[in-house]
Copies of this chain bind each other. A is one copy, B any other.
């Protein structure tokens, strides 16, 4: 670990907040923020807004102008070293005369992966890496999951009563959570690369599955319906609303041609259910960083059981729905306390009258 000053920490924290402003728009690219400072004074800042658009460093350098000379550039991710849709940011920093680059982390993307730092050092720029690396990794958990693990970061959204029920026995579930929680869900949807559901949910609820945040620009997430037999095609709302829709189906089927719908075959297991690990690999290949799953207890339970659930986004309403109501998750196959699934509290807050928990698989 390098020695970083309090100013370094302040500047990097600022760069991280800037980066997050791209959460709804940068995918499949990572979110990146950049602050250029002369000592304590910020002379330029920027963030990556859209794939294909300028990188964070470009915005920050434009703002800094000649004041970039001799300055320190704080970047939340290693500056790129390759000619992609934009020229390499490492060169731009060198050309602007930046004296020092502080990066939160390296970029594992194969075209970068240390190349940016190497370019900078060859040009005599001082490079320090690792400041607030945990926060930077958390910011881009989706991008990093795709690049490092070959699958998206999978978040399962659940809404339940305090006694862990998601619907009455007859399926009634409007509304367990309050308006603030429902608005919050729309913001989580907006940052997802894909919103995933199953045919059962489409058939039962005919959901739109679009992101409808109360404000802010976003790239409409891909709607993904797991529908082996393509039995939910008559439910059309999931194809409306201006967002793309992808149906995954049994490779043995030939899908129809339907406007506004794409189809892809995904492997099934012996039991006729999707191989969910293969589904996630397929979505990663299509550039999906984060999957936001809103599905029934069976699909959510299968994702969890398959080790594919990276986060549970659980809204708990201050209600009791009784033991006859539907369970949170199904098919976990737990018969003894030793088999209970341990989770870790990642974040906890009230959202309106409801409780919001973000839980992740326990690592210990």
Number of copies: 2
Taking CB atoms, residues of chain B closer than 8 Å to A362 are 318
Which of B318, B333, B337, B359 is in CB contact (< 8 Å) with A162?
B359
Chain B residues in 8 Å Cβ range of A357: 162, 355
Give every chain B residue within 8 A of A261 (Cβ-Cβ). none
> Known contacts being A164-B163, A335-B169, is A323 close to B297, with CB within 8 Å?
yes
When distances are taken between beta carbons in the complex, the residues of chain B under 8 Å from A321 are 334, 337, 340
Chain B CB within 8 A of A330 CB: yes
Q: Which of B322, B334, B344, B350 contacts A318 (CB 8 A)?
A: B344
Known contacts A162-B357, A332-B320; is-contact A172 B337 (Cβ 8 Å): yes
Asked if A174 is an interface residue, CB under 8 A from chain B, the answer is yes
Chain B residue numbers with a CB within 8 Å of A325 are 334
Give the distance in Å from the alpha carbon of A76 to the alpha carbon of B318 in the complex. 32
Q: Does B359 lie within 8 Å of A329, measured CB to CB? A: no
Q: How far is the CA of A362 from the CA of B344 in the complex (A)?
A: 30
**A165 / chain B contacts, CB cutoff of 8 Å:** 164
Cβ of A296 to closest chain B Cβ, rounded Å: 12
Asked if A343 CB lies within 8 Å of chain B CBs, one says yes
Give the contacts of A305-336 with B (CB-CB under 8 A).
Answer: 314, 318-325, 327-330, 332-336
Instruction: Tell me the complex Cα distance, A66–B236, Å.
Output: 85
Does A304 sit within 8 A of B, measured CB to CB?
Answer: yes
Which chain B positions have C-beta within 8 A of A337?
168, 172-176, 321
Determine the main DSSP class of A at the interface with B.
loop
Q: Mark A227-247, 1 if CB is under 8 A from B, else 0.
A: 000000000000000000000
Q: Return chain B residues, CB-CB under 8 Å to A49.
A: none
| A321 to B343 CA separation, bound complex (whole angstroms) | 11
The answer, among B173, B322, B344, B353, for a CB contact under 8 Å with A334, is B322
Report Cα–Cα, A341/B317, bound state, in Å: 11
Q: Is the CB of A355 within 8 A of B350?
A: no
Q: What residues on B are CB-neighbors of A343 within 8 Å? A: 162, 318-320
Instruction: Please determine whether A336 and B160 come into contact, CB atoms closer than 8 angstroms.
Output: no
Name the B residues within 8 Å of A176 (CB-CB): 337
State whether B336 touches A320 (Cβ < 8 A).
no
A362–B334 CA distance with the chains assembled, in angstroms? 34
Q: A176 CA to B342 CA in the complex, in Å?
A: 10
Q: Which of B322, B328, B348 contacts A332 (CB 8 A)?
A: B322
Q: In this assembly, does A29 line the interface, its C-beta being within 8 Å of a C-beta of chain B?
A: no
Closest to A161 in B: B340
Determine if A252 is an interface residue (Cβ-Cβ < 8 Å).
Answer: no
A164 surroundings in chain B (CB, below 8 A): 160-165, 328
Instruction: From known contacts A162-B343, A350-B345, infer whether A334 and B327 are also in contact, taking CB-CB under 8 Å.
Output: no
Within residues 8 to 22 of chain A, which ones have a CB less than 8 A from any CB in chain B? none
Q: Name 15 interchain pairs, CB-CB below 8 A, sorted by A.
A: A168-B334, A168-B337, A173-B337, A318-B343, A318-B344, A318-B345, A318-B359, A319-B342, A320-B334, A320-B343, A321-B334, A322-B327, A323-B329, A345-B355, A348-B355
